[in-house]
Chain A
Amino acid sequence: MARMKFLCDADRCIECNACVTACKNEHEVPWGINRRRVVTINDGKPGERSISMACMHCTDAPCAAVCPVSCFYTTADAIVLHDKDLCIGCGYCFYACPFGAPQYPRVGNFGGRGKMDKCTYCAGGPQQDNTRVEYTQYGSNRIAEGKLPLCAEMCSTKALLAGDGEMIATIYRERVQRRGYGSGAWGWRTAYRTTVNV
């Protein structure tokens, strides 16, 4: 089985937000929730980089470690998913996640955050694959159809890579060697405790 990862080549990302839009559209993500976002660091300064970030599907995922109802599970492809029927909307996964991936529908300003929502790696949830219930709760399940996440598929500059960790690391490594520079795999040290050595 593969070990699915995301890798954003910040030297290619042009902050077009196509990944963000593709994600919102594919899964009909409600207002106020962004499963993916593009963060620009050093905006307007030397060393400006844009990084497309969503749930990284961490190794030893912090969200799963702190969830008081233990509603997370990891698929055979190492995708971190959660069960919205069990989630109580406490916000703990949001406190622990290094990437700010867990999002909450703003059901009210008091107490309840509503069920947590985050990037599923286009892998749906615990419901039966590609059913209406699964779609309503988690969005589409492209993985079950043998496809990769749409954000990476849509990326015009191929800055955002999704797929088996080894494979996307190799692609990135070759790129960096050819062009002679690369700022590295953002979030990899934090999420996977490895880096892509070039």
Chain B
Amino acid sequence: MPLSRSIEAIRADFPILAITVHGKPLVYLDNGATTQKPLQVIQTMDELYRTANANVHRGVHCLSDMVSERYEAARETVRAFINAPRREEVIFTANTTASINAVAFSFGERFVGEGDEIIISGMEHHANIVPWQMLCERKGSKLKVIPFSDEGVLDLEAYRNMISGRTRIVAVTHVSNVLGTVNPVKEIVAEAHRHGIPVLVDGAQGVQHGTVDVTDIGCDFYVFSGHKVYGPNGIGVLYGRTELLNEMPPYQGGGDMVANVTFEKTTYNELPFKFEAGTTNFTGAIGMAAALDYLTGLGREAVAEREQALLAQATAGLSTIDGMRIYGTAPHKVSVVSFLTGKIHQYDAGMILDKMGIAVRTGTHCAQPLMERYGISGNIRASIAFYNTEEEIEALVNGVRKATEMLG
């Protein structure tokens, strides 16, 4: 299935792709950290501030109604994008980190106690480790970690054996931000549900590479960030199943999240507003919806297919370099390649690539336990998006080869 538009037309949608850095055309391969924004998003937000800015849900006037409607339409766009059953199950937050913290706090308050257990995996981003550790510290509960193989595949056998009568929640990443592994989240959820245990899936790297169906996955929570899915910063999503969200206490108090306030007692508003205290980032939500519409318009399967082709090219090209070690060779992975060559330090390689105009990420990628698992202090990560080109992948391979020669 081809993309609905030519790659030239697509690149023209992203103004930043045309800039030069250090006098060289930008080759942006740090899409795992954040993605670039198409004009469709930039213009939506620009137009919103010019013509429809007012506080949502707070006024009787026309502008407030207008923007409230668009905010709720954005919620519907997100719902459809991840195929959530109900619109009110989509809660807007600041980012993935905020969504996970919200669940860890609120779910934790209600359902987790001393001696209880929480299962995460060994390939989590710090955002899906630290909030659970904090919960464990508050409640005196224990964190258990699913191991994974050298290829970057989770050990499901170990996971099954880890589940106990004390397990209260499982929190795993859909896609590893370092290894690119697409985890079998549907299986993980099915196993947990056999024991009546809810599952949170960290979709920060999972939502932008094709279709995602939370109903099919069956997870209880799915979280992601707008900025990693071609939308603006400061907006994120927490999808949660109604039954659970209704049971969970709010984690922030303030305006909009209440039904009735007296100094004696406050009753809370219903979903989703119960979890959206204060003035929300409605411009962000509407901008993110524009990004999701953009991806849908391109064809999400086509996006995934193109990224897979570029991934194959990058993997093959990099593998021709002497001493190349690729971290993450799972059979099912997204367009992320993490690597090191010879004894070369990732920071040196990253600095040389930068001077060639090539933007990659170097370091631990906020996944220090994963680096420890491989016994390295960090690596180089190229994360590819559909708007990258075959020439850019070639530039990466040549750049890495050159850096390897200089540093070897």
Q: Do A and B come from one complex?
A: no
